[in-house]
Chain A
Amino acid sequence: MIGPFVHLRLGLGFSPRIARFGTFGMPVRSRTSALQSLPECFVIPSDACAAHRIRDHIATRLREGGYPERDVLDVLQALDEAMVNAIKHGNCCDSKKMLRISFCVDQDCFQICIEDEGQGFDPANIADPLSPECLEIPCGRGLLMMRHYMSEVSYLEPGNAVMMVKKRCGCE
């Protein structure tokens, strides 16, 4: 039992919009095909405590699934960045707005989708945080870390849902 969240099985009525983001090194995916394979879904409020409980639950599931600790830590680092982005930038820290977190722990890979209630954004519009002019300003570092720690990162239209995949170490 991880807390007073709405825990749903799939069939959530996600609208079948087609993703248009193929930039920033991220593959284009359709929302329905991306979510079909994610059997566990939680809807949580936009607050740190709820995010922590989901984080702990996912860590437990990965360890139960026999994922190496390094993979678990990579996922947690990316998950934290993604949830912070969703809460702060997507839901503007509005506790009435919810996050929908769907995931699947498979033999070979872990997949997760984090969806907020914001307007979405185009990751292609985020400046390169490694460029000299951006190195010292807060822009896109979280995204950079997500892309580093996960095997795949993609955004679903309209840019308010991030889909991430971590291939189990040795399964790349």
Chain B
Amino acid sequence: MAAQPKRLLEVQTIDNVAHVSITQGRILDDQIIQQFGEQLNSLVDQSGHERILLNFGKVEYLSSAALGKLVVLRKKIEAVKGKLALSNIDPTIFEAFKITGFDRIFKIFDEEQEASQFLQK
């Protein structure tokens, strides 16, 4: 029997915004990255969220492949004319965003509250 996929995201909807907390500290293994991508995509494809706030507060480590999954989510949200914001990114993780130029394509906020305000506009 196939192992149950690990739940990597906790979702709470507040004022039409999906507040998504990433619960996995290290998004590194191929299998985890795959599940991470699938669970991110299902926020739009299955749950129909159009305004998504991704909180990275618990993330300690992110590989380039995991960053790639964020690009897919971004495209999905753009396709439904939604909005995506990222918050609480640890400086070490933010460095990976800067190296890859992702700080230019994502809306990134220090705190969840600022991100939430941006999404509600």
A residues touching B (Cβ–Cβ < 8 Å)? 48, 73, 77, 80-81, 84, 88, 129-130, 135-138, 141-142, 144-145, 148
The residue of chain B having its C-beta at the shortest distance from the C-beta of A88 within the complex is B30
- Which of chain B's residues 57-99 have a Cβ closer than 8 Å to chain A? 61, 63-65, 67-68, 71, 74-75, 92, 95-96, 99
> Which residues from A are CB-within-8-Å of B68?
138, 141
Identify A130's interface contact among B29, B96, B101, CB under 8 A: B101
Specify the chain A residue showing the minimal Cβ separation from B104. A135
**Contact surface of B with A, Cβ cutoff 8 Å:** 28-31, 61, 63-65, 67-68, 71, 74-75, 92, 95-96, 99-102, 104-105
Complex Cα distance, B31 from A48, in Å, reads 9
Question: Assuming A48-B31, A84-B30, A136-B75, is B65 touching A142 (CB within 8 A)?
Answer: yes
- Within the complex, the shortest CB–CB distance from A147 to chain B, in Å, comes to 9
Q: Are B100 and A145 in contact (CB under 8 A)?
A: yes
Interface class of chain B by DSSP: helix
Residues of A within 8 A of B63 (CB): 77, 80-81, 84, 142
Complex partner residue of B99 from A48, A80, A138, A148, CB under 8 angstroms: A148
Which residue of chain B lies nearest to A73 when distances are taken between CB atoms in the complex?
B92
CB neighbours of B95 from chain A (8 A):
148
Closest chain B CB from A143 CB (angstroms):
9
Which residue of the partner chain, among A48, A77, A135, A137, contacts B101 with CB atoms under 8 Å?
A135
CA distance A73 to B63 in the complex (A): 12
Closest Cβ of chain B to A117, distance in Å, is: 18
Residues of B within 8 A of A137 (CB): 71
19 A–B contact pairs at CB < 8 A? A48-B29, A73-B92, A77-B61, A80-B28, A81-B63, A81-B64, A84-B30, A84-B65, A88-B30, A130-B100, A136-B71, A136-B74, A137-B71, A138-B65, A142-B63, A144-B100, A145-B96, A145-B99, A148-B95
